């Protein structure tokens, strides 16, 4: 089966920064909805019309990967609005209840970057924002999308990862 929208592709990859330093490697394939919100548009362009077994190497500048780093997406919140046990690197879908910061996107995923006794630093940028990326991708399989996947325009198993522009990775090292 050739890759055309809509379908589901199973991919493996290795990812490095612009200088070749490793960032992420996926050895076991993960499925992605092709033609929806699961993959970066430039990756979809590269995969279009190919089949299982296809391999490609892409160099992605920030503007076609996860965007430029925006300092205005960094904010400080009172430590009291967070539960006990928070750690740097933890992520929140939106600002925590009771947050006082105004003007921040309510639907962003915020990463805790620093914790102080009085406040917590949150970053609403994607973890790979501002980075050029080198991506080596292999198509392991291609299949038709299910009705649920067609309706959701996404693979519904919760395995979105670094190749999704919508969500930060759970696979980053």
Say how far residue 146 (Cα) sits from the centre of its chain: 23
pLDDT tens, 31-77? 999 999 899 999 999 999 999 999 999 999 999 999 999 999 999 99
Task: Tell me how crowded residue 51 is: count the other CB atoms within 10 A of its CB.
Answer: 13
DSSP SS3 for 70: coil
| CB-based burial label for 3 (10 Å; 0-12, 13-18, 19+) | buried
- CA-based angle 161:31:126, to the nearest 5? 15
The pLDDT, as a whole number, for residue 140 is 98
pLDDT over 70, % of the chain? 90
Strand order, beta sheet including 7-17:
22-34, 7-17, 133-143, 55-60
The pLDDT, as a whole number, for residue 50 is 98
The pLDDT, as a whole number, for residue 107 is 84
Say how far residue 1 (Cα) sits from the centre of its chain: 26
The pLDDT, as a whole number, for residue 23 is 95
Residue that the structure tokens 């960094």 belong to:
74
Low-confidence residues in the chain, pLDDT < 50 = 158-161, 166-173
Q: What domains lie within the chain, and their CATH numbers?
A: 7-66+128-152 (3.10.50.40), 71-123 (2.40.10)
């Amino acid at each position: 089966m050739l890759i055309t929208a809509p379908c589901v592709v199973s991919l493996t990859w290795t990812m490095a920064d612009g200088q070749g330093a490793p960032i992420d490697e996926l050895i076991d394939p993960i499925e992605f909805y092709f033609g929806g919100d699961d993959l970066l548009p430039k990756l979809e362009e590269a995969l279009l019309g190919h089949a299982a077994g296809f391999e490609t190497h892409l160099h992605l500048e920030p503007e076609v990967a996860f965007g430029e780093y925006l300092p205005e997406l960094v904010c400080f919140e009172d430590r009291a609005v967070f539960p006990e046990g928070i750690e740097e690197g933890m992520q929140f879908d939106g600002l925590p209840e009771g947050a006082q910061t105004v003007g921040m996107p309510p639907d962003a995923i915020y990463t805790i970057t620093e914790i102080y006794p009085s406040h917590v630093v949150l970053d609403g940028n994607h973890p790979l924002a501002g980075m050029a990326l080198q991506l080596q991708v292999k198509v392991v399989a291609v299949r038709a999308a299910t009705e649920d996947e067609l309706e959701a325009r996404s693979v519904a198993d919760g395995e979105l990862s670094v190749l999704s522009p919508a969500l930060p990775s759970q696979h980053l090292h």
